[in-house]
A = this chain, B = another copy of it.
Amino acid sequence: MSETSSPEVHPAWLPPSAFRALGSRRVHVEASGPLADTVRAEVARACALFGGNASSPPAAADLILTLAAVPSSGSGDGFLLARRGAATIVIADGPAGLLHGLFEVVRRGEAAFAPDLADERHEPALGLRVLDHWDNVDVHPVMGQVERGYAGGSIFWHHGRLRNDLTRVRDYARLLAATGINAVTVNNVNVHRSETHLLTDRLGEVAAIASTLRPYGIRLHLAINFAAPVILGDLPTADPLDDRVRRWWRETTDRVFATIPDFGGYLVKADSEGQPGPFTYGRTHADGANMLAAALAPHDAPVRWRAFVYNHRQDWRDRSTDRARAAHDHFAPLDGQFSGNVILQVKHGPMDFQTREPVSPVLFAMPRTRVAVELQVTQEYTGQQRHVCYLPPMWSGVLAFRPDGDSGPALAERLSTRTPGGGVLSAVANVGDDPFWTGHPLAQANLYAVGRLAWSPGRDPAAILDEWITLTFPDAPRQALHDLMADSWLTYEQYTAPLGVGFMVRPGHHYGPDVDGYEYTPWGTYHFADRDGIGVDRTTATGTGFTSQYPHPWSERYESPATCPDELLLFFHHVPYTHVLHSGTTVIQHIYDTHFAGAERVADMRARWADLAGTIDPAVHARVTERLAEQLRSAEEWRDQINTYFHRKSGIPDAKGRTIH
């Protein structure tokens, strides 16, 4: 593979047409500094395209972008969007707010210039909105260059070294800034030997990326190897309570900030799936995290410490161990022990980014700990960017979850209000060096939406989708695209693992069905299907007790099949195939019905997409057409394997007499 930058990189949600309204106006920018320069350059580019005036005097301007006279006490990301006289004005809390205000105007298009525009205060709900790239510097022999990457190689690294041409990194920063993202982690949480060196002797490469991201207000984070003092520092230990180790981290961190003054912070996967961690030295995760926090504290930067810790060498025969419990069992007892700049980063569900999981109870079990929710934009378990799967409805459900019951605050509010500086939303990125950024062009919508939700978790995913369609496909019929994509996550759920039971994927690469693929493995991911029934008994009365990790009323709701939502039934309960769901159908008939329906819906999506030919860039249309063919093949494979498996096992025929092989 040669390192060539395609001249034909897709503009994603920032095609020239997106700047039409802005670019045809008279604009005045009143601010100075690097981010203001970026704003000015954006305005100039837009006006050059559409004949506007990028340096209008204020009195004649249609749009004025300016900094607030009094600096904000907040993040500096916020701004006021308002109408003053004949002009639209953006008054930003700080330089970053100026940039976000500009892109708000871009997203609005003509509507930003409506005479009756009411005053709007914009402020991100969450202060740190970060994308984690699971990029390997070297090409990993099994995982490739980007772990769980479905869009080609890394945009940062190429064959073990920094790319010569960082143009795409700059383009990427620009795209992210337009969604509200303000940070990026540039390497995999599984930190192999080469990546470990990014922290010290290869810091120059990291600084080059940071400089490329900086003009768009994106700060750079690094995933670090807990054993770095041993690997890089020639120390005999990485014990977090050892003075030499603490000094090594402090001095190393000081050097990082000396080189990259706005460095964002560390991300750590420790004692997880083979990564090193404090357990090696008989220390707690709080000991480990606090050591790194102490090194970062003088620089006012956080360490994000992942809660994804479980026994990945479980004995499948042992039904008392439950991977779903693991993060809570490990971390909840440590509440109150973490330093103020430790952020515990928790996957949104208790297992691992399945299509349907309950919300992880760790997210609201630790009131004295800063907690971040981690989403997965890269579609590891949701079709790997070969399937259309618009994920924001799932994410939105997580953010809107009310841990204390229907009258309590939503998770997003809890995350944002209780932490100084605002909460944190992390998401595993889905881009690569593919010309369409995300392999599947429609997977760009997930990347776009994760930024928008991080800024504003309460927004309707359907509205975000429309916003994205309007920007990306200005000439396509919006409703047709909307209809094709809006429920695609539910469609994916229909033809894959049923009723929240999860997995049933091919081990290793996780693509395509294999019902028993993980059933007798050490990974803790089981469905326990036998000839009579299926599901995992996680009740407190007769099962693993996972339900007791939830507060009232959820512990009770999940505990009983009578109140457990259908879509999570098999996550919490082992029931007979003849169990009748709230929907009125039996479990087995639900399996058959949803699998036939899901595959049919994919066939329908394909037909709808074919109808859009002519309204979509032919290259995009061709790529999506090719992916939809694979999605249909795969959906039919899922349908048939799942149906056959459960028909063979249950012996119960389809009530509608359809073909089960």
Query: Does chain B have a CB within 8 A of A279?
Result: no
Within 8 A of B (CB), among A553-601: none
Segment among A3-11, A208-216, A351-359, A646-654 that sits at the interface with chain B:
A646-654
- Which residue of chain B lies nearest to A642 when distances are taken between CB atoms in the complex? B520
Instruction: Determine whether the beta carbon of A317 is less than 8 Å from that of B531.
Output: no
Q: Is the CB of A531 within 8 A of B648?
A: yes
Within 8 A of B (CB), among A90-104: none
CA distance A516 to B513 in the complex (A): 11
Chain B residue nearest in CB terms to A637: B520
Question: How far in angstroms is the closest Cβ of chain B from A2?
Answer: 18
Compute how far the CA of A650 lies from the CA of B649 in the bound complex, rounded to whole angstroms: 8
Asked whether A661 lies within 8 Å of B141 as measured between CB atoms, the reply is no
Chain A interface category by residue count: 20 to 34
A239-268 toward B: CB 8 Å interface, digit per residue (1/0)? Answer: 000000000000000000000000000000
Q: Is A641 an interface residue (CB 8 A)?
A: yes
Which 10 residue pairs of A and B lie closest in terms of their CB atoms, listed nearest first? A530-B648, A317-B661, A516-B516, A531-B531, A520-B641, A531-B651, A531-B649, A317-B640, A649-B649, A531-B648
Using CB atoms, name the residue of chain B closest to A661: B317
Listed A/B pairs (20) with beta-carbon separation below 8 Å: A316-B661, A317-B640, A317-B644, A317-B661, A514-B520, A515-B516, A516-B516, A516-B517, A516-B645, A517-B517, A520-B637, A520-B641, A520-B644, A529-B648, A530-B649, A531-B531, A531-B648, A531-B649, A532-B651, A648-B649
Interface centre among A529, A637, A648, A651, by most chain B C-beta atoms within 10 angstroms, is: A648
Annotate A300-327 by CB proximity to B: 1 below 8 A, 0 otherwise.
Answer: 0000000000000000110000000000
Contact residues in B for A515 (Cβ distance below 8 Å): 516
In the complex, per-residue mask of A516-529: 1 if CB is within 8 Å of any chain B CB, else 0: 11001000000001
Bound complex: CA of A118 vs CA of B517, how far in Å? 61
User: Which B residues touch A317, using CB under 8 A?
Assistant: 640, 644, 661
Note all chain B residues with C-beta closer than 8 A to A640.
317
Which of chain B's residues has its CB closest to A512's CB?
B520
Residues in B neighbouring A661, C-beta threshold 8 A: 316-317
Residues of B with C-beta under 8 A to A141: 141
CB-CB under 8 A from A529, the residues of chain B are 648
A650 and B531 within 8 A (CB): yes
A515, B520: Cα distance in complex, Å? 10
Task: Given A514-B517, A531-B531, A532-B651, output 6 extra A-B contacts at Cβ < 8 Å.
Answer: A317-B640, A514-B516, A515-B516, A517-B517, A520-B641, A531-B650
Measured between alpha carbons, how far is A247 from B227 in the docked complex, in Å?
Answer: 62
Find chain B residues with CB under 8 A from A517 CB: 514, 516-517
Shortest Cβ distance from A651 into B: residue: B531
Residues of B within 8 A of A530 (CB): 647-649, 651
Residue in chain B with minimal CB distance to A508: B508
CB distance from A178 to the nearest CB of B (A): 39
Contacts of A516 in B (CB 8 A): 514-517, 645
Cα–Cα distance between A532 and B532 once the two chains are bound (Å): 13
Bound together, the chains give a CA A649 to CA B640 distance in angstroms of 19
Write out the residue numbers on chain B whose beta carbons fall within 8 Å of the beta carbon of A531.
531, 648-651
Q: Least Cβ distance of A103 to chain B in Å?
A: 43
Shortest Cβ distance from residue A147 to the other chain B in the assembled complex, whole angstroms: 16
Interface string of A309-349 (1 = CB under 8 A from B): 00000001100000000000000000000000000000000
Q: Which residue of B lies closest to A636 (CB)?
A: B317
